Amino acid sequence: MAMDSTIDSKLGERHAPLTKLVLTALRERILSGALAPGERLVEGRLSEELGVSRMPVREALRALAAEGIVAIEPRRGATVTTFTREQIHEMVEVRATLEALNAKLAARRHDPAQIARLERILAEGSQLTSDDDLARISALNLQFHEALGNVAANSVLQEIMRSLRERTALFFTVNNRERMRQNWEEHAAILRAVVAGDAELAALLAARHVYSAAELPASMQPASAPASAAFTAD
């Protein structure tokens, strides 16, 4: 898939370390859904599109493989990671548990300045429409969860959650446009519980939000699972 206008300027002409620039550009496209699970990431094509040599592309792909969002296989090269239904279920269970803890801590520690930022993100997200760019929809969704983590003020939890959010974004992103309004209604309910200091309700709503967001459309269901299967909390 050709690079879009957001990164069509040659990265080789910029002054920051090339590997970091390439890494950021590729990560953004993968997490926004512009590069789909299973899509091949050809070094030569990417280096030409980004205006860099193959070396920073190769290093960036290796770094993304270490993050779990790119898979590198002998003779096949690099592809965007795909997950089995069992792997998805396990990640969703972990993310739901940690997002619940994140919301609970945020409700206990709600800082007025951080809450104000969350409210601004919520207001902006609530104005999105299905015609908006998917990358923008996904970015605002991520900003909300990152900001909620800032309110929770636990750096260890936030580091773990950041890695897990990136991995789960590979299968959450496909739903972002279809359930956009529902996403932001659920975000608003979580924020109300946080502002009210109701830690248990905030945790419950955050966990439910993850399970709801993880319901995959039939086109994304792995072949080993029935298309009607849906995630539920055990």
Domains of the chain: 5-80 (1.10.10.10), 85-220 (1.20.120.530)
How do residues 125-178 score in pLDDT, each as one tens digit?
A: 988 876 777 778 878 888 999 999 999 999 999 999 988 988 888 877 766 667
For residues 84 and 46, is the Cβ–Cβ distance under 8 A? no
User: Per-residue pLDDT tens for 35-82?
Assistant: 888 999 999 999 998 899 999 999 999 999 998 889 999 888 999 998
- Note if the pTM is more than 0.75: no
The full length of the chain comes to 234
Class of residue 130 by CB neighbours under 10 A (exposed 0-12, middle 13-18, buried 19+): exposed
Q: How many CB atoms lie within 10 A of CB 192?
A: 14
Which range among 6-10, 85-89, 187-191 has the greatest average pLDDT? 187-191
Take residue 50 and report the two structure tokens written for it: 């980004």
Residue 74 neighbours by CB under 8 Å, 6+ apart? none
Tell me what the mean pLDDT of segment 76-91 comes to.
90
**Beta partners for residue 78, in sequence order:** 41, 72
Residues 6 or more apart whose Cβ sits within 8 Å of residue 188: 122, 126
What Rg do the C-alpha atoms of the chain give, in angstroms? 18
Which phi and psi (to 5°) does residue 80 adopt? -70, 135
